[in-house]
Structure 1
């Protein structure tokens, strides 16, 4: 039997100060998925600023930007005078968080786990922090149903047909920065019915040409941001590390919006299904 989502909400976040359930008037959102969830809960009227990664929905981009979530300056954060900061795990640096703590700004750190349950945990935590527990439960219930539906579809893919997917974060200087395990890329590949081509390490790592070739990916997955982070397809597939792979032979490259693909927020079921369709065709 599934427990009501609100019964576990208060145990899901790490708080630097005790959680207050009254509605904060001035909320600063740090992290793209946090901002997206706040909008999905209908609590955007309390947002007074966001970080650089918070670019969806488009309305969020009109808010003041306090900087990149992993390189926040205390002056920038405090300049918008928040009474509550809701942040994805990993925001920092630690020195900035210490200054905010000393300034007695309430900070809710949202747990981050690259699984379907991890997204539901985010929603219930943010719902509790904003006083929107009923809305959070409704959103989480719908998303859980959507994620279950995607899981059911990809479960029909035979193991022998599962594509080996290499997520490439960057191709700067012709070197491949790729995803191992315990990343959002690894999580979404699994949810879409794929197999991560690299599992011998956690996080992201610069790979040797030999290691990429030996991984033998069937598909290259990337964000669609271009620049130093992603060479055009012809250039990418001609790299010495990728040219010997099945992905190069078939020309299989999938590019998707970064926040949509890796955000692990309200749109993740759609992103997983879109990726699965790119890998296998309609399911």
Structure 2
């Protein structure tokens, strides 16, 4: 064997030997991150999840639970001996995140934006982090195609439904979603108009302000407890077009606001309820 060829073979062998193995113990922090990992078929490599990882149900049922993503314990996360931590932006507290970042374990911070490019980048980043680039690209392409089809189906609609998203009701006042929120994003992507987009973030509305917004539809999360409330029990909201028509839509929080693999289906489901006359059809994904 000539020397240059031998050197080449030895170099290639050394490169293969030094290649990082695929992570086998992944701590998944963020519901969308966990959904993506399951959709990629990487669930057997998940060592633990946080409490926002409610879909699929098997995640919290079968994986160790590290607690709420905004109340992490660095010691608790690191005690699981992970070889990769996938952490959605917004995890906290900052001190715990700083300790995790400094521990020497590979950490990937996953974007949590609400735009279509943010959603697709999230899928690609998670997939690349666990060595599933091709699956991630295929998933992102399928999601983009589904979102493009929905946009095309919505294009002929001339009058957008005016939608008020209410996160909670307390003491007769509604906490509503303005611009820059996940709720604002899903309303727009499903072809609606957020009537509260003139303000930033979530704000509490007086009854008079809620009535003045005159929504056609009230959108809420499907959950129990006093904070879910009945918006139409508030006279100001009962007097709006939504109240007069009984147009209250409730959807599962992780499905509607998860911004993960199920988002294209959730948006089609929401759009079909905004515009039942359009024949958009409901998604088969849940």
TM category, shorter: 0.7 to 0.9
Q: Identify which of structures 1 and 2 has the higher relative contact order when contacts are C-alpha pairs closer than 8 Å and 6+ apart.
A: 1
| Residue in 1 that maps onto 2:222 | 224
> Is 1:141 aligned with 2:130?
no
Q: How far does residue 183 in structure 1 lie from its aligned partner after superposition?
A: 1.2
Q: Is the 8 A contact 1:22 1:130 kept in 2?
A: no
| Residue in structure 1 matching 2:187, options 181, 186, 189 | 189
Distance (whole Å) between structure 1 residues aligned to residue 75 and residue 131 of structure 2:
28
Matches within 5 A, 1:237-276: 237-276=232-271
Q: Deviations over 1:46-103 (max 9, x none)?
A: 1011111101112212211111111112232223222211111111110111121232
Q: Is the 8 A contact 1:67 1:76 kept in 2?
A: no
Q: How far does residue 21 in structure 1 lie from its aligned partner after superposition?
A: 6.5
**Residue ranges of structure 2 left out of the alignment (5+ in a row):** 1-18, 281-286
* Runs of 4+ in structure 1 over 6 Å off: none
Distance (whole Å) between structure 1 residues aligned to residue 150 and residue 206 of structure 2:
34
Distance (whole Å) between structure 2 residues aligned to residue 167 and residue 252 of structure 1:
12
Q: Is the 8 A contact 1:112 1:122 kept in 2?
A: yes
Return the TM-score normalized by structure 1. Answer: 0.88
Distance (whole Å) between structure 1 residues aligned to residue 87 and residue 101 of structure 2:
14
Q: How many residues align?
A: 259
| Residue in 2 that maps onto 1:31 | 30
| RMSD over equivalenced CA pairs, Å | 1.5
Matches within 5 A, 1:168-207: 168-207=166-205
Q: Is the 8 A contact 1:41 1:132 kept in 2?
A: yes
Distance (whole Å) between structure 2 residues aligned to residue 205 and residue 81 of structure 1:
41
| Residue in 2 that maps onto 1:165 | 163
**Residue ranges of structure 1 left out of the alignment (5+ in a row):** 1-19
Paired residue secondary structure (1:206): strand
| Residue in 2 that maps onto 1:209 | 207
Q: Is the 8 A contact 1:208 1:241 kept in 2?
A: no
Distance (whole Å) between structure 1 residues aligned to residue 56 and residue 248 of structure 2:
26
> Is 1:45 aligned with 2:44?
yes
Matches within 5 A, 1:52-91: 52-61=51-60, 62-91=62-91
Q: Is the 8 A contact 2:172 2:207 kept in 1?
A: no
Paired residue secondary structure (2:112): coil
